[in-house]
Structure formats: structure tokens, C-alpha cells
Amino acid sequence: MTEAIPIRPGQGGGILITGGAGFLGTNIADKFASLGEEVVIFDNLSRAHVRENLAWLTSRHPTKVSSIIGDVRDVAAVMQAVRGARAVIHLAAQVAVTTSVADPVSDFEINARGTLNVLEAVRKAAPEAPLLFASTNKVYGKLHGDDAFVRQGSRYVPRDPALACGFAEDTPLQLYSPYGCSKGCADQYVLDYGRVYGLRTAVLRMSCLYGPHQYGSEDQGWVAHFLIRARKGEPIAIYGDGYQVRDVLYVDDAVEAYRLGLTQMDRVAGQAFNLGGGPGNVLSLNELLAHIEEMDGEKPQVSMHDWRPGDQLWYVSDTGAFSQATGWRADVAVNDGLERLYRWVGDRFGGQPNEAVA
């Protein structure tokens, strides 16, 4: 039997997911609703395709999933949504570095002030509810200088073998770009509300997630974005040189991490954890293009552009701390995950998948 979320005296209600109609929120909501949990989606529905995600969720789980259309910048709406929640997963965010550079004030209001609004609502209206916050690896900034990495084959690799296991949580925070600053601010507030007010909070600093219900952009959700552009016959923009590396995590594994984070909150409370595919699930932009060519049967169109602020040449998560705390591990290998997403993209945008992955 799947472990349930522990309930403390006075708790009731459902699991509130802010930004719950987005890619990750949709998959988390689907999982918890399938387990019989009541799920409340709080989302302003401002991003493309989230209305489709919400319609899919409510049609699939008509008695388990409900929604509140609201914005985390609206204090009263957040308070209403949080009151009586059994648990809170805070995903609502402005997620693009380039957007944060163009409009840093809105980026701050959504990511930093919006998170503070959620924390205050939990403190006042649902203090027993565990809260998981989706942070980002961007809180670590550019990390080492560019000379710390060297091209090897189709990717960058670190010169120092000690980095082979990835970056752990003791990596110093070096906030870079308005997005990195706003998410880093929120990250620290979530931890501090645990220390100062006794809330049960934890932070997951995520690397690159991918999977169904993801409608990525050039700045976020790049794996799905590449596949969708290729499927539609549109050029793919590469910022930098394409050799930059990320560890990628299939969404089912990310959902399991959030489930374990809530069900084992007493083990993770007050801590920040890196969450990604780890050293075993590493992918460069060039390598993804090669995968697409193999699956699609033709080479994607590519356009090259300058590096963006704070772009990391190489980022791989050391997920050992979260694994040790909860028993979690990434089970879906890159090739398998890409094939699953390729099929979903084919179903969503038309055409038949290549027989090689059918």
C-alpha cells in the first residue's frame, strides 16, 4: 500500500498545489488523485496550454480534483486557498531567465513576494500542513568559471574529477540573474519559516524535468520544447554552443520525489535538497538534437544565438542527500524517457512516431 501523508490533529482538506495546472503540477495532481487524495489546483491560468492541462485533470478525476483560479500575488485569494489544506506544494512561479531580465519587478513579485504570501497563509491558516517548495539549480549561479570545463565529444565535462558526482547542497549560493535572485530569496524564506515559525517546510532545488504535459519554451522546459519544435518542423534556437550539459529527470521520478517529500516530511523538514537525474542521466543540447534525429528520421533545423545571463556550462545534481533521507532514486533512463515524451508529443501534435520507438 502506498504511504499516505501523515495527518496531525486539526488537519483536514486536500492537497493544495499552487501552479497546479502547469507541467509538474498536472503530473503531481494526477498521481495524488489516482491515490485517492483530494487535490485543489490554484493557478492563474496565464501560461499557454495550462487550461488544457486543467481540463484533462478534471475530466480524468472529476470527484478528486477541484480548482481555484487565482494568483499568488493576491493575498486574500492565497489565504482562501490555503485555509484548511492538508498539505501544500508550492510550484507557482515566473520560470524564465530572459523574462526576469526584461521585467525584474514582476519576477520578484511572483517568485519572492508570492512565496511569502503562501508562507504567511500557511502560518496563519494551516500551520500543521507540510509545505514543499520547488526551487531551482539557478540559485547556485554560474558555479565555476568557464575554464573549469572542457569539451569532450558532444558535451562539456569538468576538469576536476571530484565534480563527477555533481553538485551537492553545500555548494555556495551565488544568485545570478533576477530569476536566480527571486527564486533564491523564496528558497531561503521557505527554510526560514521552518526555523522561526516551526512550519514543516522543505525545498527541492530542481534541475531539468521533462515529460508529458510539458509545453516548453526556449528558456524553460527545453527538452519538450526541442521535441515539439522538431515535430512541427520549426527551427530550434540554441543559446551558446550546444555543448552545455544538464542532468535531466523524467517527470514520473520527480512526482515520486514530491510524494516521498510529503509522506516523509519529518525526515526532510528544514532542509533543501537537489533534485535531478544525477550523473546517470546527463544530456547536452547537442546530444538531444542527435536523439531527435534518430527518433524523427531527419535532422532538426537549428539557429545559433548568444549565451544568456547566468547560463551554466555544466550542471549535474548530486541527489545523494534526498535519496538517503527518503529512499528515492531516478528510475527512468534518458533514452526511455525521451521515447515516452516523443510519443506524447506525436499524439499531441499529430503525425506518427518513427517505428524505431513505436
| Catalytic positions | 179
Between CA 289 and CA 315 the distance in angstroms is 19
- Considering only CA atoms, which of 189, 220, 213, 250 is closest in space to residue 25? 213
Between CA 98 and CA 104 the distance in angstroms is 10
Task: Please provide the DSSP assignment of 277-308 as one string.
Answer: --TTSEEEHHHHHHHHHHHHSSPPPEEEEPPP
Between CA 193 and CA 201 the distance in angstroms is 8
173, 232 in Cβ contact below 8 A?
no
Between CA 239 and CA 7 the distance in angstroms is 46
Which amino acid belongs to residue 223? V
Between CA 188 and CA 199 the distance in angstroms is 14
258, 25 in Cβ contact below 8 A?
no
- Considering only CA atoms, which of 222, 217, 215, 188 is closest in space to residue 203? 188
- Considering only CA atoms, which of 208, 248, 211 is closest in space to residue 339? 211
Q: Rounded to an integer, what is the distance from CA 70 to the centroid of its chain? A: 20
Q: Rounded to an integer, what is the distance from CA 54 to the centroid of its chain? A: 18
Q: Which three cell numbers stand for residue 243?
A: 555543448
Q: Rounded to an integer, what is the distance from CA 160 to the centroid of its chain? A: 28
Q: What separation, in Å, do the N-terminal and C-terminal C-alpha atoms of the chain show? A: 32
Q: Which three cell numbers stand for residue 306?
A: 548568444
Between CA 39 and CA 15 the distance in angstroms is 5
218, 236 in Cβ contact below 8 A?
no
DSSP class of residue 104 equals: H
